[in-house]
Amino acid sequence: MSLKSTSNGQENNVTTRKQQSKSVSPQRQARRYSFENRELNQKIVQCADAPSLLKVLQNAGITKKAAGGSLNSVNFSTSFHRLARHSVGKQEMRAQILADPRFALLLASLAEAIQENQFQSREISNIGWALAKLRLPPPSKVVPMADQNDTLMQMTACASQIRKEVVEMAAKRRNGQHDAEATWIPVLSKLSGHILDHIGFTADAACRKKGGQAFQMQEYANLLWSWSTVSRVDSSKFDVVLKQMMSQNQQLLEKPNAIDDLQPQEWSNSLWAIATAQLDNLEVYVELLEFVANLMEAYPKFCDRFKPQEMSNTVWSLATLLSLTHKNQPTGEADIVNRRREDQAALSIIRSAALYITRKGTATFKSQELSNSAWAMATMGFGIGPSIAEPSVNSNSNYVVLGSGDPEGDCEMMRDALLEIVRSSIPLLPRFRAQELNNLAWSIARLVDGDFVKSQPHLQLVLDGIGQQLSNERRFITSQDIGTTLWSLATLEVVNKSLYRTLAARLEPSKVHTYKPQELSNTVWALATAEIQVGPERDAFDTSLVPEDLRPMIRDPAVLTFAMAAKELMRRPHEFKTQEIKDVLWSFAKIGIRHPQLFKFVAQHIVGGEDEGDPNFIPRGFGDFSAQGLGNMALSYARHAQLAADVGDRLKASSALAASNGRLAVYTTSYLDVGETLLHRLFNELADAYLRNQMMQRCKPQDLANSAWAFAVLGLQHSSFMEEIKKELSKRTSRYTGGEINGMTQVKGQEVANVLWALATLNIQAGDLIRSVTPYIQAICKGRNKELTAVSIANTFKRQELANTAWACAVFGEYPPKLMDILYTGLLGSTTDEDALFMAEIHGDDGLQPQAIMTLLYVQAALDLSDNKRKKSLPANFPEGWKQIAPSRNDHMTDTFDELNLSTSKMQRAVSSAFSRIGFHHVEEHVITMEEMAHNHGINFAPKPVEILSIDIADVDQKIAIEVDGPAHFVAHIDGAIQKEEEGRGYTKVKKGKLEYQYMWTGERHLINGPTALKQRLLCSLGWKVISIPFWEWFELKGDETAENDYCTKILRQAPGDMLRDT
């Protein structure tokens, strides 16, 4: 379409009108123009589409400046309003409108006319709304907002530029260039932004005019909506407009029945505008929330007039704003007061919304309205009780939890509203967009727990339905939909393993570089939490223990998901938040997939590599990690190393590691995976991060226990860190028994047991801790009748946890009578009902595991050999009548002993040969049985030939015990900065096709561990003289027989007593 430039005919037509006007009175002329404008408006309204409307305007003279006066303010307003309506949901039509030169001239005419003529509030409000609906004005980041005078100059300049470019294009088309493109669109956009800014100055002036009420409420709301929609936001104008809105409403409310004239849409749109613009720092923000809260609470008729979209927009906006304001804790007194006011107003609004939902129902709600309403309640933490208020493994500290004076009432109100939303959602699920489905699933996971879901059939139906919808291959879903939905289902313990695999399979490796870290971490976290079985492909990443030719190809979608997460974490680590890093590592360790390269990379990312090649590299450090993040990081590295046992079970002799079980295998695997020095630095800095900024006091009990357990499993002793854990556990259990009961003082039985086991394993004395925790253990083990029974104890502790606690007492050499009574009763029953089958039934197991059997034998021996006056005894049919039918590996994380397995190392044979050479008569692997200990030492054992203790090299007649102690008998002391000369100098070597780690310890930072200390103490109590030979001392002799002979002679002479009388 061509557009002619201004012709003489048009100019003559204008002249004719002027000449005619001389002979017509002003009154008749005004009436004629008014009639012509009304007639034009009718034509504009009657147009069926945008092209026909622009044709009407072309004929009206928009080629002239300000349309030559042929369009009044109403015509301009109607034209833009109708054009916006014609383009809604029609992208091609919008593009056609913007490229049409007639529209460009219309906008230029508006810019000129709006500066010369008086536009009414409704007209400028409609124009602003239309420009925003057309998505024409640019964000203020692209075209900055200017002051009022500069804005007017820019409007004039842009209008002239548009007219010039339109004329140039018309000339090109006359000359045959029919494909000439519209070059004015960028200027068009810029001009529309300045017009919207000018409208803002006009509204601001009207609001500031004393006693002025130039705008209606809907017009104010439209302006706020327009500014926010196109991101041209001036917070000062928002403040002025909102103040005026509240003032006008307040005046209106003073009239009888005025509430009937208030429209919810005005406030819903205003809140939506503030939330969309993220203006949580407005002067009137809190006042506005209080005003709306009062309207909804004090005037039920007003609240009932909300349409579903208006109500869902209101609560969505409120939740969005609170999630912004609650990112940071208030500091000053004024900020704290404002936060309380904000929370109280928000609580009032969400309560009104919940009552509205349950009272009026949600049958007329659309899918987005249902999803947004649930999302808002979840985001604000409305009605969340203490049992589920704390963030889960995959949550973050930015979640809002609204405080309430009536938590039980709010919880019931929230659940009623949620169930109403869910009931209405079930038949509409096919109409839900994917994001709405994942939002609904996330909301349910945030608001209720798995037990509540199991009790509500509608919740189960909707979650199943969400899974089915998202697994439909014909439905487009994003990685966010997959990650959020799987996270929600796993959090709620809704496990459909086929569904999990189906959704994981929809992640595309070719697009993984576009996936957000949270989406990847959520997905692997869900797969791990749901314990999806991954089969042999779990060995695909194990470069330490699995020979290359045995590493399988990856076809399983679950394993492929883990591969994608690891790849992206190593490719772009700084894009991953600390929570996402720890979730990925935790997921690998939890599901049982070893990935040494990933774990080493993350360690280097956090504390720096052993030899950084990049001089500009700055380690990330643990500064941004939460207490839970630190605990999970420690836990993940320890579990990752422990998985060596599973690899050994699967591969048997094909494993690359020579020994894959026991403490030595864990140490060796962790050093092969990460590196000895790097691992020590990682845990040293992790402990220091805990000790800084009173992080320990903010730790949940589980985080404290996980961290202590991890240090012990890896044989890393950080004494300052463990001392603080002792203090924390002692303080919290004491506060609990003193009546202060909350999430920080309620320590689970497993957590108590793990801390005590860790301290004992690291050979750190408990001090006053045992005395502190004994009353606490008594309190949490008592049943409803306040009595301690085997059943009540079994409800708090598993048997392995009880055994570990008893073993820790033996290592500490402390046996509080009340605690020992609980431990023995929980393990074996009371003296009147020692029944192995009964105990297995109440514990839900098949009997005592082998390590628990050995633990009890050691504990009984240590107890009887101590000066403790109150004796205990084992049942007459112990151990054979109490053994587990099918030994389980589930609790190997806190094993104290395995059954006594005798083996002789190469080093031990060399030591034995040396002692033989110097004439020291001995036997290897001498064993001490229950029978011997019962007959010779009065231990309360049934006299049975069950082997308990073994001695590496023993002179049985003189009772000289020589223990050859390898690395598994020691822990590394990692307090303080590790000097270069103290760093681990160990290395990997291959021997007979097997990997071995050559330990190069010197003893400077190594101490005997708890199991070794307890064994030595037991042997001493049995009358043996114990000599320990640390492996590093023997290695220093380098196989020189003369040196070996001299060494053996020396240690015998230094030992107590006359050990050489028969030599």
Angle between helices 457-470 and 434-447 (to 10 degrees): 150
CA 35 vs. chain centroid, Å, equals 65
With tokens 């800095």, the residue in question is: 685
Mean pLDDT within 876-896: 66
Across the chain, mean pLDDT equals 88
Question: How big is the CA angle at 220 (ends 217 and 223), to the nearest 5 degrees?
Answer: 150
Give me the pLDDT at residue 253, please: 83
Q: Residue 715 is encoded by which pair of tokens? A: 């044989």
Q: Is 508:571 a contact under the CB 8 Å cutoff?
A: no
Of 648, 621, 615, nearest to 633 by C-alpha is: 621
For the ranges 398-412, 581-595, 788-802, 835-849, the lowest mean pLDDT is seen at 398-412
pTM of the complete model: 0.86
In the predicted model, is pLDDT for residue 687 greater than 80? yes
What is the amino acid identity at position 766?
A: A
Q: Is 954 left (phi over 0), alpha (psi -120 to 50) or beta?
A: beta
Position 886 confidence tier, pLDDT thresholds 50, 70, 90: low
**11 CB-near residues (< 8 Å, 6+ apart):** none
Of 899, 897, 914, nearest to 1029 by C-alpha is: 914
- In angstroms, the CA 220 to CA 534 distance is 58
Q: Within 140-179, where are the H helices?
A: 148-174
Kindly report the number of other CB atoms within 10 A of residue 259's CB atom: 17
- In angstroms, the CA 349 to CA 347 distance is 6
- For the stretch 262-300, pLDDT in tens is 889 999 999 999 999 988 887 889 999 999 999 999 888
Position 459 confidence tier, pLDDT thresholds 50, 70, 90: very high
Give me the pLDDT at residue 252, please: 83
Give me the pLDDT at residue 1054, please: 79
For the ranges 451-455, 790-794, 871-875, the lowest mean pLDDT is seen at 871-875
Of 870, 888, 877, nearest to 834 by C-alpha is: 877
- For the stretch 97-109, pLDDT in tens is 999 999 999 999 9
- In angstroms, the CA 593 to CA 564 distance is 13
Burial class (CB in 10 A: 0-12, 13-18, 19+), 89: exposed
**633 CB-near residues (< 8 Å, 6+ apart):** 581, 582, 585, 622, 625, 686
- In angstroms, the CA 904 to CA 283 distance is 78
Q: Is 778:793 a contact under the CB 8 Å cutoff?
A: no
Q: What percent of the chain has pLDDT over 90?
A: 68
Mean pLDDT within 431-452: 96
- In angstroms, the CA 215 to CA 121 distance is 5
Coil, strand, or helix at residue 953?
strand
- For the stretch 1000-1041, pLDDT in tens is 898 888 999 999 999 999 999 999 999 999 999 999 999 999
Give me the pLDDT at residue 451, please: 94
Coil, strand, or helix at residue 952?
strand
What is the amino acid identity at position 440?
A: L
With tokens 């330490």, the residue in question is: 544
Q: What percent of the chain has pLDDT over 70?
A: 90
- Partners of residue 965 on adjacent β-strands: 1030
Give me the pLDDT at residue 711, please: 98
For the ranges 137-146, 590-599, 987-996, the lowest mean pLDDT is seen at 987-996
Q: Is 317:275 a contact under the CB 8 Å cutoff?
A: yes
Q: Within 47-100, where are the H helices?
A: 50-60, 73-87, 91-99
What is the amino acid identity at position 1028?
A: S
How many residues can be counted in the chain?
1063
**What DSSP string runs through 746-812?**
---HHHHHHHHHHHHHTT---TTHHHHHHHHHHHHH--TTS---HHHHHTT--HHHHHHHHHHHHHH
Mean pLDDT within 808-833: 90
Give me the pLDDT at residue 336, please: 87
Question: How big is the CA angle at 232 (ends 231 and 234), to the nearest 5 degrees?
Answer: 120
Q: Is 492:467 a contact under the CB 8 Å cutoff?
A: no
Mean pLDDT within 442-446: 96
Give me the pLDDT at residue 891, please: 46
With tokens 């205990």, the residue in question is: 872
- Is the N-terminal amide bond of 407 cis, ω within 30° of 0? no
Give me the pLDDT at residue 14, please: 34
In the predicted model, is pLDDT for residue 564 greater than 50? yes
- For the stretch 488-538, pLDDT in tens is 999 999 999 999 999 999 999 999 999 999 999 999 999 999 999 998 999
Q: Residue 846 has what DSSP assignment?
A: S
Angle between helices 479-491 and 434-447 (to 10 degrees): 30
Coil, strand, or helix at residue 151?
helix
- In angstroms, the CA 435 to CA 372 distance is 10
Residue 338: in which H helix or E strand, if any? helix 333-360
What is the amino acid identity at position 893?
A: M
Q: Is 349:312 a contact under the CB 8 Å cutoff?
A: no
Coil, strand, or helix at residue 964?
strand
The residue that leads in pLDDT, 607 or 19, is: 607
CA atoms within 13 A on the CB side of 364: 10
- Measured CA to CA in angstroms, residue 66 lies from 115, 117, 256, 310, 927 at distances of 9, 10, 45, 38, 108
- In angstroms, the CA 869 to CA 857 distance is 18
Coil, strand, or helix at residue 900?
coil
Coil, strand, or helix at residue 513?
helix
Residue 625: in which H helix or E strand, if any? none
Tell whether the torsion through CA atoms of 337, 342, 348 and 350 is positive or negative: negative
Q: Residue 866 is encoded by which pair of tokens? A: 């101590």
Of 682, 581, 551, nearest to 972 by C-alpha is: 682
Pairing of strands 960-965, 970-973: unpaired
Give me the pLDDT at residue 834, please: 67
Residue 989: in which H helix or E strand, if any? strand 987-991
- For the stretch 755-779, pLDDT in tens is 999 999 999 999 899 999 999 999 9
